[in-house]
Amino acid sequence: MSEENEGFFRRFHETVTRSMDDVGRNNFANLESDSKRVAYVWELPAVRNYNLADDLEKCQTIAKFPVAKDSETARNFKSEGNGAVQKGDWAKALHFYNQSLMHMPQKEAEELSILLANRSAALNHLERHEEALSDITRCLAYGYPKHLQYKVFERRARCLLVLKRNVEAIKAFKETLSALDDTKLDKDKKQKMRLDAQIMIEVLNKGHVLAGCPKDPEPVVKTPKPKLSGKNNSKYPAASEAIQIDFSEEKGRYATATRDITAGEILLVENPYSAVLLAEYSRTHCQDCFKKCPIPLTCPNCPNVVFCSEKCLDTALKTYHGYECPVLPLIWSSGCSITCQIALRMITQKNIGYIKNLKDLDVKPCGTYKTDDYKNVYHLVAHEEKRSKDDFLHRSQMAAFLVKMLEISGYFDDKPRTEPVKHEELKSMAISEKNAKDGAFIGGLVLKNLQILQFNAHEVFELQCPKPQVGKNVIKHEGKSVFLAGAIFPTLALFNHSCDPGVVRYFSGPTIVVRAVKNICKGQEVAENYGPIFTTVDKARRQAELRNQYWFDCSCEPCQQDWPKYDDMNETYMRFKCDSDRPCPNVVPVQHDCREFMVQCGLCQQYTNILKGLKSLQEGFVEIEVVLVVEVLEIVVIVVKSKMGIECGSKIEIKSVIGIGKKEQHRDQNSERYLNSNLLISTSDAQSMAKP
Ligand SMILES: C[S@@+](CC[C@H](N)C(=O)[O-])C[C@H]1O[C@@H](n2cnc3c(N)ncnc32)[C@H](O)[C@@H]1O
């Protein structure tokens, strides 16, 4: 990939780093706070004189992200939509109207209203009546021309009829009648429509009385929110009361079971403190709740992001998107990774007044551990004491760049800008004098966020599940998890890793759900999975990955006892933990045709009774090949192969599940469970982050 395609941040980083001599580097290394580090970067001549406008001219990726809406592009899409209507291709028409709406500037209110009316027609034909109704309301709000309104009122009435909302339909037919007074239709047509509407009102009124004047049915209820099994923990409300957070010098904080936990229990349901959608999904998924948006609402100012509802649009505009909107093309084109975008969102989601009021951040918070309290996030592991000066320098440059973007966005003036960024504003990467103090404080927070996210961010997945194929004794699911966004979950971030984890994660929008996948006894650790697990990755690689990415030496059971991977397990012998009186870490291999029940350990020479182990195997073990997620919230296990006399195709109780998804997919996903967030630059999408 060419340097231009990679984004311009790398060039900025290299230029600034090269410009520093040993004295400058030493001065930087001696700085003691994050805000001083970022302020130092802005003082460097190479940063003050850095002309980003020059870089942008060379940057090819910027062309992918238009900075403003454009009526010509919008009108071209609209004509394509109208062409598709003439051919009766309503799905294509919907696609083009969506595109047109995305690009149409807000000042073209009448054109927007016509587009929405056209889209409602397409939706009605595609039998998406609820969505057609929403577009009709929107088109009227935009000022749909009076002489055409009879059309949308009549469409509204027909949609309501299909949805059996007859009382509302009567009202809509009455609205059609009054709107017909304003039409330019010829007399006969008008008369016919009037008669049709009157007949419908009469028939519906009679039917309504005959049926005993029932109320209209309520609109369809959305998917219920996932719920914890049992009560919430009073100190950590996102977690169940079955979990507590302990501390040790060598492992920091970690979760343990306060009582026996049964496989399948939901142990944590948490909203993210911050979450950011990957750029490649910004026009297909809601920027705020990550739902797929086949009928998008668009940002009034930019053509780059979509929303699923007025509620999400409103939330985003009033907070983070209001500020990010004018600089998003710059941020995406810089090539910065999703982690850097989360570090920025942790600021933009709150206004400058809130951020400036954050006091005594270094005092450890006590009391209830709330997910939306920045202080809790601030105290997550950042390993500052182990960082090199080069690491700090690189992150400080990223923080300086991100805060410069904030300045351009109007964040410091508490007023989101609406006009596109001008090239003159990019002739220096230093922050202006008037924002120096606030800039240093916020820069310090962004730098801290970058360090925290390195160890605590999660990837958010969307489960894509096409219809299952039902065959003889087997239901085949081709579902796959797609990496959609990055997020930080403050309570889940307190769970440590084990290569034989006790839980799995899945998502309902940006909300994370954590379920036990095995029985966990009271007092035992409830461990997460940071990526490598013993079933698929050998010990040396697991240890290297965990050391490199999370800066700890894993001493979990599979690492201590060097458990074999699935593929290396030998069917001719079984392995039993040495069960002698003395604590012995050995695993005793037993041939499958062994006739003894007391076998001797090669390490401690004591005897282990293997009958106990065999009995628990018989009770709990089945060979599970397929583990499915049904409607995201329910885990169901279907046996397709069993050595234990369980019928194929039957549903079984979960005793021990190693993950969600097909065995193969589980393997693929595991390496990507956590963001590779020690990296600041991503080359294309966040999946293929390149080393800085
Ligand atoms: C997401 S945090 C987990 C919570 C953290 N222990 C705390 O005190 O906030 C990740 C960090 O926890 C520590 N950690 C996680 N799993 C560990 C383990 N199995 N053994 C030792 N340290 C671990 C490492 O320092 C790692 O960088």
Q: How far is the CA of 553 from the centre of ligand 1 (A)?
A: 10
pLDDT score recorded for residue 616? 62
Per the rule left: phi > 0, alpha: psi between -120 and 50, beta: everything else, 353 is alpha
Kindly list the distances between the CA atom of residue 622 and the CA atoms of 474, 638, 640, 663, in Å, as whole numbers in the listed order: 16, 11, 10, 14
SS3 92: helix
Q: How many C-alpha atoms does 586 have within 13 Å on its Cβ side? A: 19
Cα(251) to centroid(ligand 1), Å: 6
Gap from CA of 253 to ligand 1 centroid (Å): 7
Q: Rounded to the nearest 10 degrees, what angle do helices 187-210 and 166-180 cross at? A: 160
Closest CA to 102 of 324, 306, 279: 306
The pLDDT value recorded for residue 59 is 65
Question: Residue 657 has what pLDDT?
Answer: 34
Whether 253 is in the pocket of ligand 1, judged by its Cβ within 6 Å, is: yes
pLDDT tens profile 66-102: 778 999 999 999 999 999 999 999 999 999 999 999 9
pTM here is 0.85
Instruction: Tell me if 493 CB under 6 Å of ligand 1.
Output: yes
Point out the residues of the chain with pLDDT beneath 50.
1-4, 620-678, 682-692
Domain with CATH 1.25.40.10 in the chain: 71-210
607: Cβ contacts below 8 Å, ≥ 6 apart: 580, 598, 599, 600, 601
Query: According to CATH, what is the number of the domain 71-210?
Result: 1.25.40.10
CA dist 244 to 235, 412, 554, Å? Answer: 9, 40, 21
Instruction: For ligand 1, say whether the CB of 497 is within 6 Å of any of its atoms.
Output: yes
Residues 6 or more apart whose CB falls under 8 angstroms from that of 468 comprise 475, 476, 477, 478
Ligand 1 atom closest to Cα of residue 550: 27
Query: What pLDDT is attached to residue 587?
Result: 77
**What is the pLDDT, as a whole number, of residue 5?**
53
* CB 489 less than 6 A from any atom of ligand 1: no
Q: What is the Cβ-side half-sphere exposure of residue 679, based on CA atoms within 13 angstroms?
A: 19
Separation CA 228–CA 265 (nearest Å):
8
675 CB near ligand 1 (under 6 Å): no
Q: Is 674 in the pocket of ligand 1 (CB under 6 A)?
A: no
Pocket test of ligand 1: the residue of 254, 489, 528 to mutate, having most ligand atoms within 8 Å of its CB, is 254
- For residue 497, report the distance from its CA to the centre of ligand 1, in Å: 7
Distance from residue 556's CA to the centre of ligand 1 (Å): 12
SS3 276: strand
Which pLDDT value is given to residue 53?
85
Residue nearest to atom 15 of ligand 1 (CA): 496
Q: Name the residue at shortest CA distance from atom 26 of ligand 1.
A: 550
Q: What ipTM was predicted for this assembly?
A: 1.00
